[in-house]
Structure 1
Amino acid sequence: MTVSALRTPEDRFENIPDFDYPVHYAEDLPGYEGLRASWVDAGPADADRTFLCLHGEPSWSFLYRKMMPVFLESGARVIAPDFFGFGRSDKPTEPETYSFDFHRDYILALVERLDLSNITLVVQDWGGLIGLTLPVDEGFRARLSRLIVMNTALGVGKSPSDGFMGWKNYAAATPDLPVGDLLARGTPQMTDEEKAAYDAPYPSIDYKMGTRRFPEMVPISPEMEGVELSLKAATYWSDEFTGASFMAVGDADPVLGPPVMNALRETINGCPEPLMIEGGGYFVQEWGEPIARAALHHFGDL
């Protein structure tokens, strides 16, 4: 495919703290030829289970740095992709390139390329909006075993909360989104080095088309792309999913906090009471180590 895109210079990632994991690239994924995709692939290639960690917006795979060591401690493999427009992956510059299916099909293509199996799907924000629809695809469904879900929703054609509409309006009015400051706003423990890591993928506003487009793409009206898939996914999670699940919720999140997550929990067959992270914000992976440990103890991995 021919897509206009920018590539963040590698030197922008030279001083990323606590994220020294093997980075892989591909420019030949089916349907994405010429676009460079990036993902972290850590742990044994022959591990008997894989954690597939999907970030949201405007973050990147760096968001999982506090959870990954716990997953790796259990002997598992961890795959943490960067969506196009984020992290080390290429950043398409035209708004029409960005669509629900464009990003969803990328994850399906990557899972197929890596031939992942016994997947524990780990999702938050857009990682959940997209990730929770993946089992609609029968091929992915056969690879899926478990779910860890945090502060997210299914895009079923209505706004999840008033807080989301406030965020959408703010993002629309702020084309040069201050990514590091935004993530730090609800994460008081974040260091200046971590804030800089979240800003690293974006040398200028020209690289931020993804951060502008993703809020616009959330399927909040019945006619929007992704709604049909999300409704099918809701049926899958409630009627067909039989695996183990774990939910963690940042209780200080005004966008996709406890009310939204309680509704989602009712959709997931067998989902236990959530782990509430007191004071946890929207990017709840920043409280990730205790979440990961609680999830793995729940699953019996640790």
Structure 2
Amino acid sequence: MNILRTPDDRFENLPDFPFEPHYVELDDGIRVHYLDERPERPSGETVLLLHGEPTWSYLYRHVIPPLVAAGHRCVAPDLVGFGRSDKPADRFAYTYQSHVDWLRETVFDRLDLRDVTMVCHDWGGLLGLRLMAEHPDRFRRVVATNTVLHAGDQGDMGPFYAQWLQHSQRVRPFSAGQVVATGTVTDLDPAVVAAYDAPFPEEDHVQGARRFPLLIPITPADEAAPANRKAWEVLESLDTPFLCAFSDRDFVLGQAHTTFRERVPGAKGLPHTTIVGGGHFVQEDQGPRLAQIVDDFIRSAAR
């Protein structure tokens, strides 16, 4: 497998990103990058922050500091094909199952994370909730923000998905920064837009981002649909606390939180939150607010 690695100088002097890089190497030789920020006075809680399409751990730069200040360890991996993680050049190396396997090997086999509070956004939920269903004993609680877990039985995906599918496959060049800028309420500084583009210096590096929209199960016959249906069966049996913190101006997923609130037992009776003033990439618009919601959720369980 031809594996590409974004040059380190692409990540120099990024705005509001003082974090040290950490790496693990997977069995297939792929190197995965992650942030691991630890407090001086630990609370004993580990928060796993999972990004989605087409972002990387940079997305959580305004979420991590408040959580660390509150005493929580924050681990934020870059999915394979994104951020400072390696990028297979063959677009067909990116399958739904390979992403699940890469993430499992990273957070469980290499980092041995346990008793996790998972914050999952966008594809972070499509992958993280699969892991939770397959390894429920590893998770203490979940905060789902602007995410889904499609299993091919959700019906019409709507006009946005059709437009995004066409755009993601045809646009040249593919700009992750422009995608993020379109999905936020606030105007992004050009340096921030450039930071989201930093992982992708050439077309060969962007194959993972182009593949994600094609991997979403849209019919029951799709490759990942059976495994996701099985994951839903598990989620519908779990009482692990499951909080929805979706933003009010997410034109991508809208009211997707309703499904989780209705079907997941662990979501019953919790103070689900609508984050006002947030677009799809709520971490950009309301990062500290999301951090507060996560911290409050953790602390409410301790009371």
Q: What TM-score do you get using the length of structure 2 for normalisation?
A: 0.90
- Shifted more, 264-273 versus 207-216: the winner is 264-273
Cα deviation, residue 47, structure 1: 6.0
**2:289 alignment partner in structure 1:** 290
Residues 1:109 and 2:105 aligned together: yes
* Contact 1:255–1:282 (CA under 8 A) maintained in structure 2: yes
* Contact 1:48–1:118 (CA under 8 A) maintained in structure 2: no
Gaps of 5+ in 1: none
Residues 1:154 and 2:153 aligned together: no
Structure 2 CA distance for aligned equivalents of residues 294 and 49 of structure 1: 15
- Give 1:148's aligned amino acid: V
User: How many residues in Structure 1 have an aligned counterpart in Structure 2?
Assistant: 293
**1:235 alignment partner in structure 2:** 233
**1:20 alignment partner in structure 2:** 18
- Give 1:91's aligned amino acid: K
Deviations 1:184-211 (A, max 9, x none): 1232242122111101101122211011
Structure 1 CA distance for aligned equivalents of residues 172 and 24 of structure 2: 29
Cα deviation, residue 63, structure 1: 0.5
Structure 2 CA distance for aligned equivalents of residues 177 and 208 of structure 1: 7
* Contact 2:10–2:199 (CA under 8 A) maintained in structure 1: yes
* Contact 1:252–1:280 (CA under 8 A) maintained in structure 2: yes
Indicate the SS of the match to 1:208: helix
**2:115 alignment partner in structure 1:** 118
Structure 1 CA distance for aligned equivalents of residues 200 and 169 of structure 2: 18
Q: Choose from 266, 284, 299 the match for 1:270.
A: 266
Cα deviation, residue 273, structure 1: 4.8
Sequence identity percentage: 39
Q: Choose from 52, 56, 66 the match for 2:48.
A: 52
- Shifted more, 249-258 versus 200-209: the winner is 249-258
4+ residue stretches of structure 1 with deviation over 3 A? 44-47, 158-162
* Contact 1:164–1:256 (CA under 8 A) maintained in structure 2: no
Q: Choose from 186, 189, 192 the match for 1:191.
A: 189
Structure 1 CA distance for aligned equivalents of residues 282 and 39 of structure 2: 27
Residues 1:100 and 2:96 aligned together: yes
Indicate the SS of the match to 1:151: strand
Structure 2 CA distance for aligned equivalents of residues 299 and 47 of structure 1: 10
**For residues 47 and 277 of structure 1, do their structure 2 counterparts lie closer, same or farther at Cα, with a shift above 3 Å needed?**
closer
Q: What TM-score do you get using the length of structure 1 for normalisation?
A: 0.90
Root-mean-square deviation (CA), in Å?
2.0
Deviations 1:42-75 (A, max 9, x none): 1059762211111101100111111111221221
* Contact 2:39–2:69 (CA under 8 A) maintained in structure 1: no
Cα deviation, residue 235, structure 1: 2.0
Q: Choose from 198, 210, 214 the match for 1:212.
A: 210
Structure 2 CA distance for aligned equivalents of residues 292 and 223 of structure 1: 38
